[in-house]
Amino acid sequence: MMSIASPLLAAAAMLLTGVILFSALGKSPAAAFHVFFVEPVASLYGVGELLLKATPLMLCALGLAVGFRANVWNIGAEGQFITGALAGGAVALFAGGLGIVTLPLMLLAGVVGGMTWAAIAAFLRTRFHTSEILVTLMLVYIAQLLLSYFVHGPWRDPAGFNFPQSEAFEDHELLPLLIDGARVNVALLLALALAAVSWFFVSRTFAGYRMRVAGQAPAAAAYAGYSDKINVWLALLISGGMAGLAGICEVAGPVGLLSPGISPGYGFAAIIVAFVGRLHPAGVVLASLLMSALYLGGEAAQIELQLPAPVTSLFQGVLLFYLLAADLFITFRLRRVASAPVEPATAPTTVQVSTSQ
Amino acid sequence: MRRGELPWLRASTWEHPVTPAKVASLAPRLALHGISKRYPTVVANDRIDLTVAPGEIHALLGENGAGKSTLMKIVYGVTRPDAGRIEWEGRAVDIRSPADARRLGIGMVFQHFSLFETLTVAENIALALDGRTSPAALATRIRDVSENYGLPVDPQRLVHSMSVGERQRVEIVRCLLQSPRLLIMDEPTSVLTPQAVQTLFETLRRLAAERVSILYISHKLDEVRALCDSATVLRGGRVAGTAVPREETNESLARLMVGSELRECRRTPQPVGDVRLQLRDLTLRSVDPFGASLNEISLDVHAGEIVGIAGVSGNGQRELLAAISGETRAPHAAIRICGRHAGSLDPAQRRALGMSFVPEERLGRGAVPDMSLADNALLTAYHAGLVRHGLVQSEAIETFARDTIRQFAVKCGSERSLARTLSGGNLQKYIVGRETRLDPKVMVVAQPTWGVDIGAAQLIRQALIDLRNRGAAVLVVSEELDELYSICDRLAVISRGRLSPARATAELPVSTVGVWMTGEFSSASVTHE
């Protein structure tokens, strides 16, 4: 029960902080909240945007949650997102003439691209015992530079007025929209289906069970003979593949081409989504909607309230901060330690005295 | 001057009529009146009365689940009672936390240790002393106390490298450093050698002579009879009776605890079959600087026999067991399971050859604490039809768990109870049950009955004997000699990473085992029969 309470507490505390923040900036909190949370979803288009932005977050966070449960800490989903977009984008740019199979091929390439990036961390961890936390994080920066190199160099659109971006994808290389009047596309359905698959994998398959054991009690996993290597590889391939899929869905969706700005930090925000969603697929779906609302609200606040862009990251950070704090205070109690002397002065006999003879 | 020498402090004196001025000091150290504690599914304590006089060693006896641990948690301030009164030295007190308890002068040595594995002994103890003394300053005091009481402990050692027995020493030393006036000991001798138990008893008697009261929880009736002045027996959450242990027999005490007669476990001689588990010159250098290296260990365990390995904890048992289970890999030819070389196989592959394994640590290794008993059945029983096409078969798992619970009389809510909610003995019954029901050809068991009450211990030992009678090869590593003598056909001793030859238990005097424990078995002829 408490595991559900803490994200709710965190969200409430985040809103309260928002009130204080908006007041301090001289905005009316009520008006600011309207701009931040209500206006963006007041239209069909707005709801579509909410779902559109929730999709990559959901995809990334679902994969991460599986890994986190297995005690494998992939925090480089952002990098795998980019390599997924690059690999899938390459298919669109260089194999676009394949007609109807192009799009599935792009998605597949996206998954493989994300997995490949995560596989580097898996190899280094299983072969050399390096920390996957550091390796996946550092690979993010390499992926960003790689993307930058391609769109500035070999893949730059010759007719693009020297902007660092690729040629725009053809129509048949883009994901179909779900409804007219909104930009949300079929990737949302894919993400929801994968949420169900991920639930099934974790709770119904033996492989998922082994990963849970490895996460909860590594010594029990070793005792039962579950391979630690397989656990690490599976966790990283799943989370990397999902992040790569999110990447290709983003460029084959709303973005429509490769450019340095394809991700506003979805891969990192997904870490927060995974935790706010309690590493459970259903929770992740809800948490990705919340996080998406923060993105939309942040944009609206920039435009209408002239607030600076980092307001979005600020809300994200505050949310994670409160979540961790709530978890901490649910599990532990803060207590002042009385500054009493160590030895009770009234002890009748000390051990030393008794043994002196 | 030693206070123990003051005439008015002698144990016999305080029963005499006294002047009112001294009444306060003569009130019982601890008196519990009508303590009750209810949990949603069970009444753990039902109107319990208990009185401990200053300098008294008071035994608290009872089966697992009888309410001993709950009662001790109440005294130590971990849980609050629903009803009842606690008096400390004549005045009513409200013990709200372990810190309160420590302030009053209550120290406790837990059955499940509460040590931080990544810290050193000194750091752990500094933390327990509310963190006001530097570990460096404590080190000398730790050394003094541990040497004086025959509990050797190196303050600089990291706890994770220590065996269960060694960790227990740390817990005891930690309590003694706080100069307690009431010391609660939860099964303190379960992992000590016979000699170490004697040393501990001397320590406890000396403490008692210094007017420290001791509440001694144990299942070992011999020990209780040798050590304790009085006993309170709990059964099903109530006081079943009180006794003066010296005037009772093991049987009469056991009857009081269990409420009925105990079955003795029976083992009749039988011919042995082929070699199922074979160790040949197994040598392994320990990666852990504080671990023991294994040195040319050879042993044969045949179908239809139980072979025991005795020894003081920390002499290589942990390393040997890990090498046999596959958690550490060994040279391929050094281990054979059912005739197949198995040294470099992983634990799952060894299980596939027909080996089952019950580890020393139950929570976190033998079972996943936050998973249900049903889910924990799947941990190693995955070949028993619980997984089909990679999918977990919930119904088969629940049936397997329910059958295990019934067959091994595991006391728990249901198969959905989390493993960590079970008492140590009940979880052990469940783990032994799970491994036994896999019908192993080779069964390796570490500390089968450590911290387990007599009823459960009897059941576990009988299960191992039944397994042997059905033709399995059973290897038991234990630090309890009585147990090894009662169930083993042959016995070997491990000392400093070397293994003595195995001898028929009936022809092996305890005194020889004692000598072997010190590493002196070079004179014994080394033969592999």
Nearest-Cα distance to chain B for A88, in Å, is 31
Of B206, B349, B392, the CB nearest to A354: B206
A355 has pLDDT over 50: no
A10 has pLDDT over 60: yes
3-state secondary structure of B298: strand
Alpha carbons B468 and B273: distance in angstroms, whole number: 11
The answer to whether B368 contacts chain A (CB < 8 Å) is yes
* A177-181, B127-131, B184-188, B284-288: least confidently modelled range: B127-131
Report the pLDDT value the prediction gives residue A219, as an integer from 0 to 100: 94
Q: How many Cβ atoms from other residues are within 10 Å of residue B348's Cβ? A: 15
Of A223, A227, A346, the CB nearest to B365: A223
Asked if B129 contacts B123 with a C-beta cutoff of 8 angstroms, the reply is no
Give strand ranges (E) for B13-74: 30-38, 43-52, 57-62
Enumerate residues 196 to 215 of chain A having a beta carbon within 8 A of any beta carbon in chain B: 203-207, 209, 212-213
Phi-psi region of B514 (alpha: psi -120 to 50; beta: other; left: phi over 0): alpha
Residue labelled with tokens 């983003």: A250
DSSP B241: E
Nearest-Cα distance to chain A for B462, in Å, is 24
Asked if B409 contacts B393 with a C-beta cutoff of 8 angstroms, the reply is no
Report the pLDDT value the prediction gives residue B260, as an integer from 0 to 100: 65
B5 has pLDDT over 80: no
Q: How many Cβ atoms from other residues are within 10 Å of residue A130's Cβ? A: 13
B481-524 pLDDT per residue, tens:
878 988 999 999 998 899 999 999 988 888 788 788 877 776 55
Phi-psi region of B259 (alpha: psi -120 to 50; beta: other; left: phi over 0): left
Query: A351 or B134: which carries more pLDDT confidence?
Result: B134
Q: What is the β-pairing status of strands B490-495 and B503-504?
A: antiparallel
Q: What is the β-pairing status of strands B57-62 and B213-217?
A: parallel
DSSP B493: E
The answer to whether B446 contacts chain A (CB < 8 Å) is no
Contacts of A227 in chain B (CB under 8 A): 346, 348
Measured CA angle at B504 (ends B499, B505), to 5 deg: 90
B25 has pLDDT over 70: no
Q: What is the mean pLDDT of residues A263-278?
A: 92
3-state secondary structure of B392: strand
Report the pLDDT value the prediction gives residue A352, as an integer from 0 to 100: 34
A341 has pLDDT over 50: no
Chain mean pLDDT for chain B = 84
Contacts of A357 in chain B (CB under 8 A): 2
Contacts of A70 in chain B (CB under 8 A): none
Alpha carbons B292 and A187: distance in angstroms, whole number: 57
Report the pLDDT value the prediction gives residue B265, as an integer from 0 to 100: 65
Report the pLDDT value the prediction gives residue A346, as an integer from 0 to 100: 37
Q: Which band of pLDDT confidence, cut at 50, 70 and 90, is reported for residue A162? A: confident
Query: Which residues fall within 8 angstroms of residue A274, CB to CB, at 6 or more apart?
Result: A61, A64, A65, A68, A284, A287
Q: Which of B214, B307, B360, B271 is closest to B504 using CA atoms?
A: B307
Give the DSSP H or E segment for B245: none
DSSP B118: T
Measured CA angle at B189 (ends B184, B192), to 5 deg: 140
Q: Which band of pLDDT confidence, cut at 50, 70 and 90, is reported for residue B384? A: confident
Query: Which residues fall within 8 angstroms of residue B478, CB to CB, at 6 or more apart?
Result: B308, B309, B310, B446, B447, B448, B449, B450, B484
Tokens of B506: 């009936």
Of A341, A354, A357, the CB nearest to B210: A354
Tell me what ipTM this predicted complex has: 0.81
Q: Which band of pLDDT confidence, cut at 50, 70 and 90, is reported for residue B449? A: confident
A80-138 pLDDT per residue, tens:
999 999 999 999 999 877 888 999 999 999 999 999 999 999 999 999 999 999 999 99
Q: DSSP secondary structure string, B281-295?
A: EEEE--SSTTSPPEE
Q: What is the mean pLDDT of residues B445-458?
A: 83
Contact B179 A354 (CB under 8 A): no
Nearest-Cα distance to chain B for A349, in Å, is 7
**CB-defined contacts A:B, below 8 A:** 121
Residue A250 phi, psi (nearest 5) = -70, -45
Asked if B145 contacts B156 with a C-beta cutoff of 8 angstroms, the reply is no
A1 has pLDDT over 60: no
Tokens of B399: 């049936």
A147-157 pLDDT per residue, tens:
999 999 899 98
First to last CA, chain A: 58
Contact B2 A354 (CB under 8 A): yes
- List the single best residue of A337, A354, A356, A357 to mutate versus B (max B Cβ within 10 A): A354
DSSP A44: H
Report the pLDDT value the prediction gives residue A335, as an integer from 0 to 100: 65
Q: Which band of pLDDT confidence, cut at 50, 70 and 90, is reported for residue A34? A: confident
Nearest CA in chain B to A337: B130
Report the pLDDT value the prediction gives residue B379, as an integer from 0 to 100: 95
Nearest CA in chain B to A209: B392
* A217, B113, B280 from A332: Cα distances, Å: 21, 19, 50
Contact A351 B148 (CB under 8 A): yes
B11 has pLDDT over 60: no
Contact B364 A217 (CB under 8 A): yes
Nearest CA in chain A to B2: A354
Q: Burial code of B281-314, b = ≥16 C-beta within 10 A, e = fewer? A: ebebebeeeebbebeebbbbbbbbbbbbbbbbbb
* A20-24, A47-51, A321-325, B130-134: least confidently modelled range: B130-134
Question: Residue A103's Cα: distance from chain center in Å?
Answer: 24
Sheet of strand B83-88: strand arrangement: B43-52, B30-38, B83-88, B91-93
Give the DSSP H or E segment for B488: none
- List the single best residue of A129, A213, A351, A357 to mutate versus B (max B Cβ within 10 A): A351
Q: For chain A, what percentages of helix, strand and coil (3-state, to nearest 5) are there?
A: 75, 0, 25
B465 has pLDDT over 60: yes
A182-234 pLDDT per residue, tens:
899 999 999 999 999 999 999 999 999 999 999 999 999 999 999 999 999 99
Nearest CA in chain A to B352: A225
Question: Residue B147's Cα: distance from chain center in Å?
Answer: 23
Of B129, B348, B368, the CB nearest to A217: B368
DSSP A122: H
Nearest-Cα distance to chain A for B374, in Å, is 12
DSSP A310: T
Contacts of B369 in chain A (CB under 8 A): 216-217
Question: Residue A29's Cα: distance from chain center in Å?
Answer: 29
Query: Which residues fall within 8 angstroms of residue B276, CB to CB, at 6 or more apart?
Result: B301, B302, B303, B337, B338, B354, B441, B442, B472, B473
Give strand ranges (E) for B144-293: 182-186, 213-217, 230-235, 238-243, 275-284
The answer to whether A2 contacts chain B (CB < 8 Å) is no
Up-side HSE of residue B194: CA atoms within 13 Å toward CB? Answer: 12
Query: A344 or B265: which carries more pLDDT confidence?
Result: B265
Which residue(s) pair with B93 in the sheet? B86
The answer to whether B22 contacts chain A (CB < 8 Å) is no
Q: Which of A13, A55, A2 is closest to A273 using CA atoms?
A: A55
Alpha carbons B491 and B474: distance in angstroms, whole number: 12
Residue labelled with tokens 């725009």: A168
Alpha carbons B501 and B492: distance in angstroms, whole number: 6
Report the pLDDT value the prediction gives residue B248, as an integer from 0 to 100: 87
B237-277 pLDDT per residue, tens:
889 889 999 998 887 887 888 776 556 667 788 888 999 99
The answer to whether B211 contacts chain A (CB < 8 Å) is yes
Nearest-Cα distance to chain A for B288, in Å, is 17
Asked if B355 contacts B441 with a C-beta cutoff of 8 angstroms, the reply is yes
Alpha carbons A71 and A93: distance in angstroms, whole number: 38
Query: Which residues fall within 8 angstroms of residue A134, CB to CB, at 6 or more apart?
Result: none
